Amino acid sequence: MKPTSAVVTDEALLQNLLGDISLPGNGTPLSVGVLATLGNPQPPAHCMRTCLNSRADAIESHGCPFLVAAAEGRVDDGCLKDGHCPRGYQAAARQIALGDKHAVVVTVGAPTHVDTVAHLFERVTQLLEENTGFAEEMIQNYEQLNLIFDLIPQIAELSDTRAIERLLLQKVRHLLRATSLCVHDSRGGWSWLDEYGEAGAPPPGLSAQQLELVASTVRNTSHIQVATQSEYELLAGALVHLDNAVNVVIALRPSRNGAFTAGDMMLTDSVLAFGGQLIRNNELHERLHALSFQITRALVAAIDKKDHYTSGHSERVGFLTRLIAQEFGLSAAELQITEWAGLLHDIGKIGIPETILCKPGKLTKEEFDVIKKHPRMGYDILKPIASFELVLDGVLYHHENPDGSGYPKGLHGDQIPLVARIIHVADTFDALTSTRSYREAFSYERAYEIIRQDMGKRMDREAAEAFFRAFGKFQENEPEKFERLFLQHREQTDDPA
């Protein structure tokens, strides 16, 4: 049966929906095809080839030549296009030739079908428009999602807040195809980035006053703002740091490249919100880290106040502990913990009476038993600090000897945690080479000799050998630091050995 109506559309959904409909009355099928080439000099047959497969032949005989004729102005009877073009076929076909994506309904000799088709068409067009709306939204969501998926692994590799902020700004600048970008920080300072992400200058002709105005609006409302200023489009948003410190980010691009869209605003908003969250987390983390440092410093100061003789001892042992630990290939985090353990190893001495701690000359056995309590006391002092959990091993066991002759538990060899074995060597070396209330300092050579003789007995062999390697390298590579940390405190000490 020959079709009496043709619907020509490039919308796949319309094709699918209308393609299966038979018109009431005589049951004539609708022909549905794609008209992508009306404005193209190609013969109609090519246009027909992209028609819905099953009805290609029907269209070929009825549809396309008809539309071509219409476009050329040779037809003007009963036809319509969706509401925009009531004047008929000819105009509708021309619209399509100009790239209008909407469909044309063509009726061939059966005007009674026009209403039915027109009604269906209207309905489907409506649905299509809704659908397009959803699709647009989805495209934007995809863009956002993607950006965030990309950002997460990149940011995860960064631990410095400034680096994270720089990465975010680069993303925003790229995303918005901005030619420059500036940040008005919470202290009122301006910084500019050029299109390569390098430090730049403001583009000429911008009014600083107006930029301030945009920045303060964003600061007060926390909402994304767009503005136009002397041939530049501005998009401004807030990047919120800890303590509500707001950095206002302003992206600029020349107006001839087009205004910023609602999509640009949404994307920027989500990147800045997400990025702000990451930055605040990172800042919190940095603060906690700093707090740990400060607590350590405060505790070390407490030991030094108690025992003047050991002044500087904690610092040197902390330093040596890290130096030796580096020989064991530990991670940065492990090295940090190890250094803290070295710094705090004698914290328990706070609990030892000064009369014993600072007593000149030899200690009695009873007095020495009191001194031997300091690792346990140190352990008890630090135990409540959860983030020092790994420091405890070093503090508690730094007087254990591999041959089992140490205290408090008399552990052997590998039973002693590595951090404690390292501290033991560092502590012994510094004690030997420092003046004590009961004796003068030993020379370095004598101290090395004592440690070497003790290897495998009171000194862990591995840790001691690591110490010789690391300390040798240190003296050679950093003579100034060596002088400041080790030699100055020995200046007045004559070698008694």
Partner 1 sequence: MSRILVAEDDPHILRLIAMWLKRNGHDVVEARNGNGARDLVVAETFDVLVTDINMPGLDGIQLIEAVVSTGHIHRGIVVLTNRWDHGEIRERLSQWDVRVIPKPFSPSRLSEVVDKLTAVDTSEAPHEGFVPDQSSLS
Contacts with partner 1, residue ranges (CB under 8 A): 12-13, 36, 50, 101, 131-132, 135, 138-139, 142-143, 145-147, 149-150
Q: Closest separation between CB of residue 53 and partner 1, Å?
A: 10
Any residues with CB less than 8 A from the CB of 447 and at least 6 apart, and which? 429, 432, 433
How near is the Cβ of 264 to partner 1 at its closest, in Å? 11
- Residue 372 carries which DSSP code? T
Give the rounded distance of the alpha carbon of 37 from its chain centre. Answer: 48
* Separation CA 170–CA 442 (nearest Å): 58
User: Whole-number minimum distance, CB 101 to partner 1, in Å?
Assistant: 8
Shortest spacing between CB 295 and partner 1, in angstroms = 42
Residue 20: phi and psi, rounded to 5, are -95, 5
- With beta carbons less than 8 A apart as the criterion, state whether 477 and 468 touch: no
Q: How far is the CB of 64 from partner 1 (least distance, A)?
A: 17
Q: Which residue in 161, 199, 207 sits closest to 180, CA to CA?
A: 199
Give 241 or 253: the residue with its C-beta nearer to partner 1.
253
Q: Which residues neighbour 458 within 8 Å (Cβ) at sequence distance 6 or greater? A: 401, 402, 403, 405, 406, 428
* Closer CB to partner 1, 53 or 331, in the complex: 53
Angle value at C-alpha 365, between 360 and 366, nearest 5 degrees: 95
Q: How far is the CB of 105 from partner 1 (least distance, A)?
A: 22
CB of 147 to partner 1, least distance (A): 7
CA pair distance 412, 243, nearest whole angstrom? 51
In the complex with partner 1, the residue whose CB is nearer, 45 or 139, is 139
CA 156 to CA 167: how far, in whole Å?
12
Residue number with CB closer to partner 1 (173 or 489): 173
The residues, ordered by sequence, that sit 6+ positions from 136 with a Cβ below 8 Å of its Cβ are none
Query: Which C-beta is closer to partner 1: that of 39 or that of 202?
Result: 39
Q: Which two tokens stand for residue 388?
A: 């020092």
Q: Give min distance, CB of 254 to partner 1, in A.
A: 19
Say if residue 480 is exposed, middle or buried (CB neighbours under 10 Å; 0-12, 13-18, 19+): exposed
Least distance in Å: CB of 16 to partner 1?
A: 9
- Taking the least distance from each CB to partner 1, the nearer of 176 and 236 is 176
Q: Toward partner 1, which CB reaches closer, 131 or 230?
A: 131
Which of residues 50 and 292 has its CB atom nearest to partner 1 in the complex? Answer: 50
Nearer to partner 1, 99 or 188 (CB): 99
Collect all residues with Cβ–Cβ distance below 8 Å to 349 and sequence separation of at least 6: 303, 306, 307, 310, 357, 374, 377, 378
How far, in Å, CA of 312 to CA of 430, rounded? 10
Q: What is the DSSP letter of 491?
A: T
Output 142 or 368, the one with its CB closest to partner 1: 142
Shortest separation between residue 12's beta carbon and partner 1, angstroms: 6
Q: What is the DSSP letter of 485?
A: I
Q: What is the C-alpha to C-alpha distance for residues 183 and 249, in angstroms, rounded to an integer?
A: 5
Beta carbons within 10 angstroms of residue 348's beta carbon: 23
